[in-house]
Structure formats: structure tokens, C-alpha cells
Amino acid sequence: GCDEGRASSAGRSAMASRQVLRGVTVLALEQAVAAPLCTSRLADAGARVIKVERPGIGDFARAYDAFAQGSSSYFSWLNRGKESLEADIKDPADRALLRDMVADGTVDVFVQNLAPGAAARAGLGSAELRELNPRLVTLDISGYGEEGPRAHYKAYDMLVAAEAGLCSVTGGPDAPGRVGVSICDITCGMNGYAAVLQGLLAREQSGEGASLKVSLFDSAAELMAVPYLQQRYTGSPPARVGLSHPSIAPYGAFATRDGREVVLSVQNEREWAALCGALGLAADDARFASAGARLAHRP
């Protein structure tokens, strides 16, 4: 089962600690990061999450590493508090079991992020399941959406980050960089979590379920809104500036006299005045008297 990966409750939100989703059952055909993150948040909020895993193999994230006392750090992080159900979706008996769980109302939410079309080919597509249970809330997580020339592509975090432009604004002047965590997967999973909550709320009001869809690429593209607007209206893309900020200063890591580094983030005039007061500097120096001036005169 997945319960051995249960993490500390220290980081859970107040909403989750109240178990507001107790009584909600989630059936998840999931793997890797995006969908497991979504359903882990549902589990934190009290939902019963039944994670379907392939016989003898399980979620391939189980083999990502062995850093968590011999277990995968990714799997431990994302699958705490869930139940693991070993089932082969290509096997008629196992498939019938899963469909029956939907048809008899056991399942409130269905989440899947298998390869494009895999769930539907197995008779477990969201549209088909909602015919069995119109109150079902379904969430399909894909790489590039349900339509278009890339709809059939598998997706991986760094590839999506590069394609969406995220790598072009990450790193230093000499080379692009990768965000240190699986940011596209994480963002997509959180978008999926929000979508499911909206679907459940809408069901309480209408009595009907919902068909919800999110993708890694759309999630990454949303993260690029500010760089896009800068490019669109100034004609110049934001520069890669490492820990610094392309449009705010002082912002980043600064060397100290004793050879260490401190990180500063000043985002308004009140904070600038406070910093100058702490350092014994003149806050009204014309070179630094406004956000634009500070940006123009940063070293």
C-alpha cells in the first residue's frame, strides 16, 4: 500500500486539517508526479484515494530513486495517505471491477494521467465513465491537451518547460537552466486539484458531475504570462539573470565583506527605506529613489 509514505502534517493547510473532503472517494489511474500530486492534496483534505497500480510494477515513480530510507522520495512525497489497488486495466475482470466502482456510486472523483488515449482504449475513458455515473467528477491530465497536433504526445517536465519558454528565463546569462524541482508537473497537479474542488462544489449546487481537463503545457504557459507581456509590449524578452530579477532591484544574492552571501528582496519604497536605514544609506539618492532608477543603476 501507499500508507508507508505518509508525511508529517506540519505543512498541511488549515482546510486540509479539518478533513473537509471526508466521505469523498477518488479513483486514480495515475503515475509520475502531476496526477499523484493532485490526489495527494485531496487525500490530505480527507478524501479516500484509491490508487490503481499495474501488477508487479506499480507506479514507475516507485523506482525514481531510493533516497527516502530505501524508498523513492517522489513516491513517498506524493502518495501518502492513499490506498493502493493492484489492477490490470487490460484484464476484463479488473476493468469490470473499476467500472462497477464508478457505476454503483462508490467513486465520486476519477483522475487519470496515463499515456494519451490509454484510459479510453481500456474502456475507462472519462466520457464513458460519466455515462455510468452522471454525478462523477472526472479529471484528465495530459501533456498538451486533448486536441491539436501534440495531443498524442507524451510529456516530461523539462521538455514542457523548454517548449513553453520557461528555460529561456531561467538560469544565468551564459546558459539556460532548469528549475530545481518538477515545476510544470507540480503546477499542473495544483491546477488539477483546484479544478476538482470546483467540480465538487458545482456538483453540490447542480447535482451533476463535471468533465475537467488540465495539461502540463497549458500550466507552464500560464507561468510565462509576465515574460510574454514584456516581450509583447517592449519587443525584448526578459534576460536570464540568475538569482536576480529582470525588473526589480535590489533582488538576489549579494556578497558580504566576510565572504558570505545574503539574499535580499526589496519590492516597494517602504522596504527600500527600511533597508537604507538598516545599512546607513541615503534612501533619497536620486540614482535609487524609484524602482525604475534602482533597476537602471544596479551593478
Angle CA 213–5–69, to nearest 5: 130
Whether 245 is catalytic: yes
Report the distance separating Cα 36 and Cα 132, nearest Å: 24
**CB neighbour list of residue 184: distance below 8 Å, 6 or more residues apart:** 157, 160, 161, 164, 166, 216, 217, 219, 220
- DSSP state at residue 258: T
Q: How many CB atoms lie within 10 A of CB 132?
A: 15
User: What radius of gyration do the chain's Cα atoms show?
Assistant: 23
**CB neighbour list of residue 110: distance below 8 Å, 6 or more residues apart:** 26, 27, 28, 29, 102, 126, 129, 136, 137, 138, 139
Q: Where are the alpha helices (DSSP H) in the chain?
A: 14-17, 34-44, 73-78, 92-103, 118-121, 126-132, 157-164, 183-206, 216-223, 225-234, 269-279, 291-296
83 forms beta bridges with 50
Question: Based on the number of CB atoms within 10 Å of its own CB, is 255 exposed (0-12), middle (13-18) or buried (19 or more)?
Answer: exposed
3-state DSSP assignment of residue 211: strand
Lookup: cell for 62: 516507485
Q: Looking at 54, 150, 178, 245, which residue is catalytic?
A: 245
CA distances from 287 to 210, 244, 270, 283 (A): 55, 19, 17, 10
Name the residues annotated as catalytic: 245
